[in-house]
């Protein structure tokens, strides 16, 4: 079953199209690495999925239902933004309780494994204003995974995390995939993209150029390293070529 399906999705800001004609479907248990140059439309695509931005044309279906103004579909989504900011005067524990209240989570229904493995349990009584950027990222990761979402949207999740925590987070992504979650990750770290991605969705100038397994790209170009294979593969594509959708 398709967890996420974009159908001819387009978004225009004034006269400028940030996204145009994006059609793609992502299945359960699939990790999709969304990559592309700055300003290529990655953030807009994610924001459309999260309901933060209204598309100009096309539609998005989440878990089989076309999304509209009803926010209930977002109960199935866990989101980790690139920049984690929370109310500064709340403690981490109060923040977690707030999200529990909002999500209507019952005691014992949450997945709290990341709280211990990322060391957030030691931060529970600390105020957000006393946390470093990396610590806030860890709290953000906990919130994204906590409500057992079947769709995870992670925006540059390892940026700002120490290597050990980044490894723990990526392991959590793989675990979520094993549990059937569909994971969309934006990243500029090509090792991460090659290691984690079942497919690489490449955006350029608002167009989805391809959504292919990384192995396909490396095989076609004869390069084993994705960061080297990718430019070669792009050079082979015609300007409007769209493949693997």
Chain residues in the site for another protein (CB under 8 A)? 13, 47, 50-54, 71-75, 77, 79, 81, 83-90, 94-95, 98-99, 101-103, 143
Render 210-221 in DSSP notation, one character per residue: EEE-HHHHHHHH
Q: Which is nearer to another protein, 102 or 235 (CB)?
A: 102
Q: Which is nearer to another protein, 181 or 217 (CB)?
A: 181
Q: Which is nearer to another protein, 46 or 176 (CB)?
A: 46
Q: Min. distance of Cβ 160 from another protein in angstroms?
A: 14
User: Which DSSP letter does residue 105 get?
Assistant: P
Show the tokens assigned to 17. 């199209």
- Nearest residue to 128 (alpha-carbon basis) of 138, 119, 118: 138
Q: Min. distance of Cβ 50 from another protein in angstroms?
A: 5
In which element (H, E) is residue 141 found? helix 133-146
Q: Min. distance of Cβ 170 from another protein in angstroms?
A: 22
State the Cα–Cα distance between residues 111 and 95, nearest whole angstrom.
16
Q: Which is nearer to another protein, 35 or 46 (CB)?
A: 46
State the Cα–Cα distance between residues 214 and 211, nearest whole angstrom.
9
Q: Min. distance of Cβ 222 from another protein in angstroms?
A: 41
């Amino acid at each position: 079953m398709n967890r996420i399906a974009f159908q001819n999705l387009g978004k225009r800001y004034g006269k400028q199209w940030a996204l145009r004609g994006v059609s793609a479907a992502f299945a359960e248990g699939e990790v999709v690495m969304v990559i592309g140059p700055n300003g290529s439309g990655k953030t807009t695509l994610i924001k459309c999925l999260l309901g933060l931005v209204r598309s100009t044309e096309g539609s998005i279906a989440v878990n089989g239902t076309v999304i509209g103004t009803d926010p209930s579909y977002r109960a199935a989504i866990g989101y980790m933004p690139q920049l984690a900011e929370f109310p500064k005067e709340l403690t981490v524990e109060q923040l977690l309780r707030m999200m529990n209240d909002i999500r209507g989570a019952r005691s014992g229904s949450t997945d709290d494994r990341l709280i211990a493995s990322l060391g957030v349990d030691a931060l529970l009584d600390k105020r957000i204003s006393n946390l470093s950027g990396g610590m806030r990222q860890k709290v953000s990761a906990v919130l994204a995974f906590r409500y057992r979402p079947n769709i995870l949207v992670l925006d540059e999740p390892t940026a700002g995390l120490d290597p050990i925590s980044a490894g723990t987070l990526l392991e959590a992504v793989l675990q979520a995939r094993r549990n059937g979650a569909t994971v969309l990750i934006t990243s500029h770290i090509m090792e991460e993209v090659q290691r984690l991605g079942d497919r690489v969705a490449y955006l350029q100038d608002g167009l989805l150029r391809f959504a292919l397994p990384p192995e396909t790209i490396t095989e076609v170009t004869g390069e084993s390293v994705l960061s080297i294979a990718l430019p070669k593969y792009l050079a082979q594509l015609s300007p409007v070529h769209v493949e693997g959708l």
